[in-house]
Amino acid sequence: MFSKPSLERAWVLALGLATTGSLVAAGPCDIYASGGTPCVAAHSTTRALYNAYSGRLYQVKRDSDGKTTDISPLSAGGVANAAAQDSFCASTTCLITIIYDQSGRGNHLTQAPPGGFKGPEANGYDNLASAIGAPVTLNGKKAYGVFVSPGTGYRNNAASGTATGDAAEGMYAVLDGTHYNGACCFDYGNAETNSLDTGNGHMEAIYFGDCTSWGSGSGSGPWIMADLENGLFSGVNPRQNTGDPSVSYRFTTAAIKGRPNQWAIRGANAASASSMSTFYSGARPANGYNPMRKEGAIILGIGGDNSNGAQGTFYEGAMTSGYPSDATENAVQADIAAAKYVVTPLTSGPALTIGSSVSLRATTPGYTDRYLVHNSSNGIVTQAVSSSSSSSALKQQATWIVRSALNNNNNNNGNGNSGCVSFESKDQAGRYMRHYNFALQLAADDGTKQMREDATFCPLAPLNNGQQQGGSTHSIRAWNYPTRYLRHYANVAYVASNGGGVHPFDAAASFSEDVSWFVGAGFV
Ligand code: AHR
Ligand code: AHR
Ligand code: AHR
């Protein structure tokens, strides 16, 4: 019916007129409601999903004193108040503790508990996401998405109003199409209420990534698929639907919907006013998927049994009661495009100059004669280095060349730089600083996506405020683990989180100092 984007936009505007009497765009959940398929869960850290919503979007907790605060939209229906987060989290690290449900049903998402798979926290829970991992702008206003690293997950096992059994539902999410992996499972949607794999058909969630353990689409991925439990499906054929294309728009809209013996996969470029495309629409797969046995819990970033090896970024999403029409989803997509998601730098503080030769000196009192050096077994440690008395070999080992981020896909939308960098060894050209099992090491660029992500670091304003060290002090976080910062601990280098982790090097004591580095000229 509304096949042209301009018609959809007009419909969105008309809907706003009809319901509010003023010329404002309706939010995604207003559109779903007017289509007869209201939202029963609405999650976003970036904006209100109802035109009249001015309540809490998400909660952050800061590591300096454990205090929490709620972040709300700047105005009803508007973009999140990112400045409130920035001021609350100044000079410390913050985690996203709650993603509130805007539907009024209380279907909030919190730290996922252990399930069939255990999380990395000491109590088996999954990790929480950093509050600064996924900065963007919406219509020019800054906001933060939810950057899910492996081990991170959110869940609600007691949701109300979500589809159970074979009942109809729909769901959409706006994701980063360049942030994914092949592990199980970066999902958003309907899952088991006990965090266990209770059998085929017990889930119905959006999946995004390039996992090929079950189904796949055409090309090399990533794909939008449905996680229906014990299978990621691109269509009715459990192995492959070539009509499900690889999709990697920087901002990707993904949608899944299902009703008795009918379901669909749809997708679009979230930053373009085009309609959603249908990648599958048809019958349910055989072997336990018809009828469905949905349980109604809600997951984000993990699989039904808490499989938590996947990564991805979530900006907004909702789940409905009833099977939304294609026209309703197209109107939601028009609203997302009108929200104008745009990338913004991942870094803060002064930029590091690409091509420059640098040294990184510790700022922790008592350790300020120590620099980051690689040793002869490719480990990275801190060691005292003196420009006058150290050997030329050691001075070379303490010198790094700043390179454009090896993971050059990381936030740049194909043109422009995120501000993140990689550090190449001065004396071992072609070898770079990377993390592996969270320890730093020197490794060759083997061209793999994993190596390139592990070798990408994002400089930030220093957590110790640059105390006593002058203007070139930086804290430097891992691109793929925004909670983890380049740190020395017992004179060995890691990417470490600010307390809470199971590793000794994640200790909160001395964190701000240990992760603040004076970046000066290289020795050679
Ligand atoms: O369906 C794929 C995955 O299989 C589910 O997310 C998980 O519960 C199971 O391991
Ligand atoms: O350092 C953490 C992870 O450890 C890296 O991302 C991965 O390469 C390794 O498994
Ligand atoms: O790396 C030296 C010291 O070791 C760090 O400052 C401290 O956190 C750890 O005990």
- What the block records as the tokens of 124 is 């088996």
* Residue 437 Cβ < 6 Å to ligand 2: yes
Does residue 438 come out as left (phi exceeding 0), alpha (psi in the -120 to 50 range) or beta?
left
Does residue 355 come out as left (phi exceeding 0), alpha (psi in the -120 to 50 range) or beta?
left
Distance 230 CA to ligand 1 centre (A): 5
User: What counts of helices (H) and strands (E) characterise the chain?
Assistant: 7, 32
Helix H or strand E encompassing 99 = strand 94-99
The mean-pLDDT minimum among 22-31, 251-260, 317-326, 339-348 falls in: 22-31
pLDDT tens digits for 469-497?
666 999 999 999 999 999 999 999 999 99
Best mutation site among 118, 126, 204, 227 for ligand 1 pocket (most ligand atoms within 8 Å of CB):
227
pLDDT tens digits for 205-214?
999 999 999 9
* Residue 1 Cβ < 6 Å to ligand 3: no
Q: Which atom of ligand 3 is nearest to the CA of 364?
A: 6
* Residue 505 Cβ < 6 Å to ligand 2: no
* Residue 309 Cβ < 6 Å to ligand 2: no
Which residue numbers are catalytic? 229, 305
pLDDT greater than 60 at residue 293: yes
pLDDT tens digits for 189-204?
999 999 999 999 999 9
Best mutation site among 187, 194, 197 for ligand 1 pocket (most ligand atoms within 8 Å of CB):
197
Burial of 194: CB neighbours in 10 Å, binned 0-12, 13-18, 19+: middle
> Can you tell me the mean pLDDT for 319-334?
98
Q: Which atom of ligand 3 is nearest to the CA of 511?
A: 8
> Can you tell me the mean pLDDT for 338-345?
95
Q: What is the rounded average pLDDT for all residues in the chain?
A: 93
pLDDT of 24 reads 46
> Can you tell me the mean pLDDT for 453-468?
88
> Can you tell me the mean pLDDT for 302-311?
98
pLDDT of 12 reads 46
Distance CA 194, CA 91 (A): 38
Q: Are the beta carbons of 189 and 146 closer than 8 angstroms?
A: no
Q: Are the beta carbons of 341 and 271 closer than 8 angstroms?
A: yes
Q: Which atom of ligand 1 is nearest to the CA of 205?
A: 6
Instruction: Please state, for a pLDDT cut of 70, what percent of the chain lies above it.
Output: 93
Q: What is the DSSP string of 387-443?
A: TTTS-HHHHHHT-EEEEE-SSTTSS-TTSS--S-EEEEESSSTTEEEEEETTEEEEE
- What the block records as the tokens of 31 is 């559109």
pLDDT greater than 80 at residue 180: yes
> Can you tell me the mean pLDDT for 422-434?
97
pLDDT of 317 reads 99
* C-beta neighbour count of 7 within 10 angstroms: 16
Distance CA 402, CA 262 (A): 53
- What the block records as the tokens of 195 is 């965090």
> Can you tell me the mean pLDDT for 102-127?
97
